[in-house]
Amino acid sequence: MISLEKKLGYAAAAGATVYYGVSKYVENSRVEIVADQSGEGQRLISQCASLSSPHARLVPTPYLCSGMLQTVYCTSQALKQDAGSRVEYVRESKEMEDGGTVSLDWYPEQPARDDEPRVIAVVVPGLGGSAYEYHVRSVARRLAEGKQRMHVVVSNHRGSGRTPLTSGRLYNAYDTSDLRDVLAHIHERYPQAALVAVGFSLGANLLTRYLGELGDRALVRAAVAVSCPFDTEIAGRALSAPGLLNDHLFQPNLMATVKRVVTRNLDVIRASPINYDVDAIMRATRMSEIDDLVTARAYGHKDCWAYYRAASSVEFVDRIRKPFLAINARDDPVTPVQGVPQERFARNPATALALVRHGGHIGFFTGVVRPRIWYLDPVAEYFDAVFA
């Protein structure tokens, strides 16, 4: 029979072990900032409590403690509705020069020309994403209700968010022409409004390239990129890697999204002069196969790997001249940290990089009972600092 003293000893040892484990778990969740210490990027970060205070950290939801779990959970929550994500958009359809269509979803409303807003936030979703995803709606709601009372507009890619394909031209990870046209369109309509932008994943890559391509001439006052791949070849290989959750949850979900777009727009796709192999597209099980069959063929690349190399935004980080914050997770299974050009952020005074240990791809969920998106605070605080 175990004595009371031994039982108390075992309980104390167990309690100490749990306390040590939890404290280390929290301690390892600190936010790491990479920036030129004397630059504008660091100055703005210093005004963001969620990134610079002694308690700045992302403690991930305990049961979402790996990058793939965070990523899969984020995907599974795409249609979630809660008080912080309920929005009703007003849709504007914009016809592009080639006859293609981009949908602009405005929240809380599309401003009248004679009632120009002070700040407009343009959100650029990721591959297959749209204004209706949970994380996009959450960002829209947060920025609209924040200090700047922004009007938010989500630029849905061709064929995404129930935007019809009206030309044979699609979108990819490096062609910024649609983004340029959308920003110019908004700026022309509201010339006195300050524009900021938030990009996710592929949308973040486009935003990074846009800012680097235009430098001081970029129409946005500041931008935030969440889960940007930067080195898209590294990201492409990671996305193609075999794995239980990737094979049976993440890839099937991504493929279903892509194939829905194909199914809804079969007539336009079949009529395209590119002569897509629709049957092969519908049989594809990996995003690399889709990029081989669709993106590489449409844009004249030998294969998906040549396309991924062409799409990289790494070298554009050096050319950014507007305030730019990137938020990435070290355990992101889709855009690995090895592809994030930390040394370029450290030497460009306009930029800053916030790295967290756990967060996955676009996930960044914290909290236990009701997981919430951590980066909503950093995004809102960063833009508040820009306009302070």
Of the listed 105, 178, 292, 332, which one is catalytic?
332
Q: Quote the Cα angle for 152-158-161, to 5°.
A: 55
Task: Give me the long-range contacts of 57-60 (CB less than 8 A, separation at least 24).
Answer: 57/26, 57/29, 57/30, 57/31, 57/356, 58/29, 58/31, 58/356, 58/357, 58/358, 58/359, 58/364, 58/366, 58/374, 59/25, 59/26, 59/29, 59/366, 60/29, 60/358, 60/359, 60/364, 60/365, 60/366
Of the listed 151, 301, 358, 361, which one is catalytic?
361
Q: Which two tokens stand for residue 109?
A: 């409303």
- Residue 82 annotated as catalytic: no
Q: Which two tokens stand for residue 330?
A: 């070290």
Q: CA-CA distances (angstroms) from residue 48 to 34, 225, 385? A: 14, 16, 7
> Do residues 343 and 45 make contact, with C-beta atoms less than 8 angstroms apart?
no
For the CA atoms of the chain, what is the radius of gyration?
22
Of the listed 201, 227, 312, 313, which one is catalytic?
201
Q: Which two tokens stand for residue 83?
A: 């008080």
- Dist. CA 149–CA 117, nearest whole Å: 9
- Residue 361 annotated as catalytic: yes
- Residue 155 annotated as catalytic: no
Q: Which residues are catalytic?
A: 201, 332, 361
